[in-house]
Chain A
Amino acid sequence: MEYGYILLTFLIVLALGATLLAIGALVRPSVHSKFKLSAYESGMPILDDAHVSFNARYYLIAVMFVIFDIETIFLIPWAVHFDVLGLFGLIEIFIFITILIIGYFYAYRKGTFVIKG
């Protein structure tokens, strides 16, 4: 039932957002011209697509993010049941974080966290 309220909120917010977008399109007529419809750049004719290759560091950051994000998700159940798990849970989490920190230092030595440009 509580999740139903969230679904209801979702539908209402979606309707609100879509209405706002639609109003913007309906209220004013559109007059197109070649230059109005071109991409915003320096004013010169545009030479090529913007979908060019980009710095591979971004990809490394994304990979590191996946690792650390999953780690955080693994920490949450332990944190919720901290009282129940006691010393056993504490040692387990120590081992878990230690393994992670070893990986972290490896990535650090490889220069993953230094972005240029």
Chain B
Amino acid sequence: MFLVLVQIITMILTVVMAVAYMTWMERKIIGAIQNRYGVKHTGPFGLLQPFADVLKLITKESFSPDQVNKPLFKVAPLIVFVPAILSFSVIPFSYGLWVSDISVSLLFVLAMGSLGTYGIVFAGWSSNSKYPMISSLRSTAQMISYEVPLFLSLIGVIILTGSLSLKEIVEYQNEHMWLVFPQILGFLLFAVSAVAETNRAPFDLAEAETELVGGFFTEYPSMGFALFFLAEYASMFLMSAVAVTVFLGGWSGPFINHFDGSAKVVIGLMYFVIKVYVLMFIFVWLRATFPRLRYDQLMSFAWLYLIPLGLFNIILTAVLAYIF
């Protein structure tokens, strides 16, 4: 019992730290892409920047504006934050390294991902202010639209592996091959939907700064804002982790089967972390490269292209899997 508790707290702290350092990574990478330094005054290479940010946010005044619906306004950041972190409890970080091994872990991750949408609706509605209201409507419509291709892209994987357990999906890939090769269309669909699902550029219509200020958390001061911010980066980290687990082989990699015991765990973790950071780098790279889409293009892209492609991918995978 004590061991499990240690494991859970380690997992949560690791995830929160990784998420905090992602903000540092993003600033540094975008700085490099745009030919500037990025953060550099707080510690070597600006490495203490996340701590400075947290200190700053904590010392900000915490209040709720007059017009808000208090209970919902207070609870909305938690509804976004908790599921985003909770999903990590079923991710197999390495060989034998997970908090909980349930047989429907893929479904669990997707379900938690959907729950975050409620937080956004609550935040926008309870703020009772025009910018958050418009933003939360937009981002809800966007998130539920892209959730459909996100789910559809994973069905092909389930057909091939015959399992909903992330652990078994990784083991399948360790034995056969990474699922990105037979499921290349599924992977591309997943990648596009994941970027849209996390409200990241070029799909960041929810917080299009020039028109909607801060998006659905415009009215939030202090730590409420920080929780939304953490949740956004955590869901980015989560989407990368799921993509790695489902399509890119999770902890499997070259020569992994020659090791066993704790060496296998350490090397597997190393492979997992490297792959996740490559994907997170791509997230940031996309933000620095592409301009924002128009809202009607964004919505029709999901419904007119991604969903038919997702259905096509399922039928194709099913027919091919049946023949071979």
Contacts and interface: CB of A to CB of B under 8 A. Distances in A.
Prevailing SS type, chain B contact patch: helix
Contacts of A9: 8, 11-12, 86, 89, 99-100
Q: Which of A27, A69, A100, A116 has the most CB of B within 10 A?
A: A27
Q: Is the interface of A mostly helix, strand, loop or mixed?
A: helix
Interface in B1-59: 4-5, 8-9, 11-12, 16, 57-59
Question: For the side of the interface on B, what is the size category?
Answer: 35 or more
Interface string A9-49: 11011101110110111011111100011111100001001
Nearest to B295: A115
Interface residues of A, number: 67
Contact of A61 (B102, B129, B144): B144
A83 B78 CA distance: 41
A17 B57 contact: no
B219 interface: yes
A106 interface: no
Interface stretch (B189-197, B252-260, B266-274, B298-306): B298-306
Given A5-B99, A36-B63, A50 B127 contact: yes
A28 B60 contact: yes
Contacts of B299: 61, 113, 115
Interface string A76-117: 100111110011001001100100110010001000111111
A59 B11 CA distance: 39
6 contacts: A17-B81, A28-B59, A30-B62, A49-B67, A76-B107, A82-B318
